[in-house]
Amino acid sequence: MGAQWKAKGKELAANAKGKLFGRLAKDIMIAARAGADPAGNSRLRLVLEQARKVSMPKETLERAIKKGAGLTGEAVHFEHVMYEGFAPHRVAVMVECLTDNVNRTAPEMRVLFRKGQIGTSGSVSWDFDHVGMIEAEPATAGADAEVAAIEAGAQDFEPGEDGGPALFLTDPTDLDLVSRALPAHGFTVVSAKLGYKPKNPIDPASLSAADLEEVEAFLAAIDGNDDVQNVYVGLAG
């Protein structure tokens, strides 16, 4: 949960795929500004790999590339905005938004943060590391995440739970390099992007069940906003 909070619950899961495609389409459009050819655009290549792994429709994917690269004649203007603050019980939160209208997003964030506390720029980010985050799953029996991390040049790793993907952490400038190297060491990349990892995460066990439920309800409301791309939270686990 510390690396990136992920929405839970049946109600959220029901709309998860459509929301995921929408977020990926935005990422593709932003990446495609630097060129529509993934061979010469590492950021676009990484996002496309992620989109294909979640079975994003080819038509949707190609349309996003063309719009981002300016090949459709449509102007695409997304602004990257970070909001910082605290969820209930002083849990640090960083909210990454891609919006076509900051004047809409800003008041919506202020309303969503009412049950917590919205902060100024830098009020929370000092307690997070800006890192490359690569989720990768074992492609071969016996694949060792620790060995793969060392050989591929990752700074650190977190083993996957119950056979799930491991999380490899890199310097932001090494994200593409490590992503390319991992398959040679027995791991298939599921997703790769830049993100924020808390330096001093709170142990969820230190919160009561009621308090933790309150934090998760706050995070679910934030995550449900259409302009939100990622939510990074100072919780361990």
The pLDDT tens digits for 180-233 are 999 999 999 888 889 999 999 999 999 999 999 999 999 999 999 999 999 999
For the cut 60, the answer to whether the pLDDT of residue 2 exceeds it is no
In angstroms, rounded to a whole number, what is the distance separating the alpha carbons of residues 100 and 126?
A: 27
- Please report which confidence band the pLDDT of residue 86 belongs to, taking 50, 70 and 90 as the band edges: very high
CATH 1.10.10.200 fits domain 10-69? yes
Q: How much is the pTM? A: 0.82
pLDDT in tens, 132-156: 999 999 988 888 999 999 999 999 9
- Top CATH class, 80-123+204-233: alpha beta
- Top CATH class, 127-198: alpha beta
Structure tokens at 161: 């739970």
**Residue range(s) occupied by CATH 3.30.70.980 in the chain:** 80-123+204-233, 127-198
Contact 167, 134 (CB under 8 A): yes
**Residue range(s) occupied by CATH 1.10.10.200 in the chain:** 10-69
